[in-house]
Amino acid sequence: MSGPIYYGAELVRRVLTWQLVNDAVEEALKAVAAQSRNAPQLPYVVSQPMRSVTIAGTERSQLLFTMPAYVGNYRLTAAGAAGDAGNATRSTLACKLVTSFRGNQELQPPLPSIAANILLFNAGTGEIDAIMSGTDITTWRTAAASVVATKYLYFGRFNAAISELPIKVAIIGCGTQGEIHAVAMCSNFKVEQLLLYNRTATRAQQLADKLRKMTNLQHTPEIIVCNSARDAVRDANVICVATFSREPLFNACDLGSKRGLHINAVGAGEVAFGEVATDVYQQSEVFVDSLANAEHELKGFPVCIAGEVGNVINKDYKPEPTSMTLFQSMGMASEDACVAEAVRSALLTIDS
Ligand SMILES: NC(=O)C1=CN([C@@H]2O[C@H](COP(=O)(O)OP(=O)(O)OC[C@H]3O[C@@H](n4cnc5c(N)ncnc54)[C@H](OP(=O)(O)O)[C@@H]3O)[C@@H](O)[C@H]2O)C=CC1
Ligand SMILES: O=C([O-])C1=[NH+]CCC1
């Protein structure tokens, strides 16, 4: 063996598309849900042990996560990842090493708060095949999980094509995740209005300016920078919240009496579910990416969890049409494994 191939960030970025990442993430969500429901009619085999968390210092502001996963018998159908044959089943053994260093944004120049590398192993021999830069994969796959959750939990309740239903989207937190969520929502859905809020107001304004200049968005919405999270969420149909806040940034009263709302709660402060108020959880049907991870990581979670997003994709469960749904995203190693595999396939295709 000559040693692992290294795929750097530049190479990875060349092949990242929403179609490729959404497809791989949807497959991971389905596989995890099939495994936890013990659904023998579905082919998947998944092993996704709890991630380890190493605290680098005395506070939880500097963390190293180890995220291993094996996903067996799954398919990547997106065109970019097809390579040999989109229909072939795949099995991937991978481990992501990811750090979360909150102070990185204060450095000059700032560094990403979340940085990752993914090790890809030969699933037949256990030898290491490749090391892939995982920072962009983490950014994209997290937004893709919110896109898939929005597709099934919000749009799934209407009898209309996704492309025909205009939505208003609130983005709370305009850091790396806020930005990619704004781009993902406008690339996958007909967003007519984008409401941005960030604690440091200039950052929301900078994101608004950047988004207005982007020419590759499928939909170019009206973009409004809001003075508070409350203002941003009031009229939204879909809310994406991605901060490090320990305190709730909005509560149920701020959402008014409207129903049929969907929330993607992505961020994690000291408490993984701190940025959204308890009464919002209490009034929502709550879904997670992985129930096993939720049991382990969401200690003190205020409500019962309705199920996994994959249960809804696999049609084991349908949310009430008028309910408020909330996707509590934690991030799964199997998403990283499937997306890294899709990226590797796409790179092999363009190289050959
Ligand atoms: N679910 C998942 O799979 C993943 C979740 N994450 C989580 O997403 C969150 C955002 O990550 P990322 O975008 O990369 O980080 P960034 O550092 O790029 O952005 C952090 C954002 O959080 C805001 N923020 C921080 N503290 C507070 C606070 N006390 N009150 C209000 N806003 C606050 C910042 O505002 P300001 O500009 O004012 O500082 C900024 O908008 C983190 O919690 C991270 O752990 C990340 C990756 C995957
Ligand atoms: O899933 C993931 O990679 C992460 N979740 C929180 C920080 C990083």
What is the structure's pLDDT at 39? 79
Lowest mean pLDDT of 109-123, 204-218, 255-269, name the range.
255-269
> How many Å is the Cα radius of gyration of the chain?
19
Secondary structure class of 98 (helix, strand, coil): strand
Nearest to 151 by CA among 319, 299, 282, 340: 319
pLDDT in tens, 182-194: 999 999 999 999 9
Q: Whose CA is closest to atom 7 on ligand 2?
A: 100
79 pLDDT above the threshold of 60: no
Cα 242 to ligand 1 centroid, rounded to whole Å: 5
ipTM value: 0.99
The tokens describing 344, both together, are 């590797």
Domain range list for the chain: 5-138+334-351, 140-332
Measure 242 CA to ligand 2 centroid, in angstroms: 12
pLDDT, one tens digit per residue, over 126-148 is 999 999 999 999 999 999 999 99
- For residues 291-318, b (16+ Cβ closer than 10 Å) or e, as one string? bbbbeebbeebebebbbbbbbbbbeebe
CB atoms within 10 A of CB 28: 33
User: Which residue, judged by its Cα, is nearest atom 14 of ligand 1?
Assistant: 176
Choice between 95 and 271, residue whose per-residue pLDDT is larger: 95
**pLDDT value of position 251:** 96
Pocket test for ligand 1, best of 199, 203, 228, 309 (most atoms within 8 A of CB): 199
pLDDT for 236-272, tens place per residue?
Answer: 999 999 999 999 999 999 997 666 899 999 997 667 8
pLDDT of residue 350: 84
Of the given ranges (78-82, 168-172, 309-313, 337-341), which has the lowest mean pLDDT? 78-82
Q: Tell me if residue 123 falls in helix, strand or coil.
A: coil
> Taking residues 301-310, what's their average pLDDT?
95
* Class of the domain covering 5-138+334-351: alpha beta
Domain 140-332, what architecture? 3-Layer(aba) Sandwich (3.40)
pLDDT tens track for 40-50? 888 999 999 99
More confident site: 272 or 275? 275
pLDDT band at 318 (very low <50, low <70, confident <90, very high): confident
114 lines ligand 2 (CB under 6 A): yes
Mean pLDDT value across residues 184-205: 97
**Tokens 């409500």 sit at which residue?**
303
Q: What is the pLDDT of residues 52-72, one digit of tens each?
A: 999 999 888 999 999 999 999
pLDDT confidence bin for 219, thresholds 50/70/90: confident
